[in-house]
Structure 1
Amino acid sequence: MGENELSSVVIGMAIDVHSALGPGLLENAYKECLFYKIRNEGFYVEKEKPMPLEFEGKKLDCGYRIDLLVENKLVLELKCVERLTDLHLAQTLTYLRLGKFKLGLLMNFNSILLKDGLKRVVNRL
């Protein structure tokens, strides 16, 4: 399954989680529920995946963590904020670049409708 098809499936699952919980909870609640749902549907998913920074040939742990990584190819960055900012977008792009991933989804679960808080982020590699 390619990144685009996978992202469509994951967006559907995220909408299910958002519909069940509504906006206003802590980010971690949405992360745990989405992690459970993705895994329960048979997909490989990692939570709080460390992303080392490579510097002078060494991999250094600088504290970067991907919220959820699905099938080793789709980065999910979850937020629960008033509105998404350029900083959130830059954070998602950083994860894509560090891991050499093509596609990420930036999701703000504090939106009335999840689709209004969703951004597809593409790494042009």
Structure 2
Amino acid sequence: MFNLPSGLSNTAALPAPQVLPEGQPAQSAWGNFGGFVNSALGNAMNAYAQYEGIQAMKNAAGVAREEQSNTTELENGAAVVVDVPKAQPTQAKATETMVFGFPQKQVIMAFGGLLVVGVLLKVAKS
């Protein structure tokens, strides 16, 4: 169909082989910020690991229980004294169950009274 001139073949031309850069990569505009972040995070994780190791040793030796028993517990849950220490609960008499802020017995009596009034009105109407 098409006649090729002499000297040309029917094969497609291959692209030139890719040349990769050699040596260190060029410095970015951020400098070595990524290395700084990685280093800071690594140091923070190491410090936390040391802290947890110390806490584990304290728990194993019972020192943490001793420290906790000597620490006063406060009403607002603060670790430092900023409020009056929590009063020890005393054995109080059993309190009555409250419903809507009223004693349960009064609430039941009131609903019963309303029911009786409703039945009386229904009977009077018919």
Structure with the higher fraction of residues in helix conformation: 2
> Per the shorter chain, which TM-score range?
under 0.3
**Larger Cα Rg: Structure 1 or Structure 2?**
2
Structure with the higher fraction of residues in strand conformation: 1
Give the TM-score normalised by structure 2: 0.17
Give the TM-score normalised by structure 1: 0.17
